[in-house]
Amino acid sequence: MAISPTLDSFLNQKQVTYDLIPHKHTGSSMETAEAAHVSGNALAKAVILKDAERYIMVVIQSSEHVDLAELKRQVGHAFEMATETELGEVFTDCSLGAVPPVGAAWGIDVYLDECLLEQDEVFFEAGDHEDLVRVTRDDFERLMEGANRGHFGHSI
């Protein structure tokens, strides 16, 4: 697949320069970081949650888990994990488990863990399990325009 057409279109619309970094097929974000030889702190992962009305995307470092209690404290109510079936219906041009952390491309509200903005470069899934997108911090910040910012992750 290489890159999700939705993501590619959004990156071009935002005039973001990016590189595709191929890697061997992986099954988790930490495996991806290792296979691509990038720091888990610089690899952004998307976690899709839902409530009764909508989906949201929480973007955290791949070396962390979403802190659901902190998210609830900051947002004011609880969310639960979206199912694989739901993910397949929303992210039709992405492989399950390889959703790019750019919710705006799919019209989904984003909650960004600000730790990612401390990285010089940010890497993230291109939509499959064999390619990463590499962007500069400035370009990543532009992609996260409008995201709710805070600290939504905790160490694994």
**CA-to-CA distance for 153 and 126, rounded, in angstroms?**
22
d(CA 118, CA 148): 16
Which CATH number goes with the domain that contains 22?
3.90.960.10
Total domains, the chain:
1
Would you state the pLDDT for residue 156?
A: 67
**Per-residue pLDDT in tens (0 to 9) along the chain, 156 residues:** 589 999 999 999 999 999 999 988 887 888 888 888 888 899 999 999 999 899 999 999 998 999 999 999 998 999 999 999 999 999 999 998 899 999 999 999 999 999 999 999 999 999 998 999 999 999 999 999 999 999 998 886
Whether the model clears a pTM of 0.75, i.e. scores above it, the answer is: yes
The predicted structure's pLDDT at residue 45: 94
Other beta carbons within 10 angstroms of residue 66's beta carbon come to 20
3-state secondary structure the chain: CCCCHHHHHHHHHCCCCCEEEECCCCCCHHHHHHHHCCCCCCEEEEEEEECCCCEEEEEEECCEEECHHHHHHHHCCCCEECCHHHHHHHCCCCCCCCCCCCHHHHCCEEEEEHHHHHCCEEEEECCCCCEEEEEEHHHHHHHCCCCEEECCEEEC
pLDDT of residue 1: 54
Tell me which residue range forms the domain holding 70: 5-155
Exposure of 112 in the CB half-sphere (CA atoms within 13 A): 23
Residue indicated by tokens 């890159």: 3
Looking at residue 19, its pLDDT comes to: 95
Tell me the sheet residues that pair with 153: 66
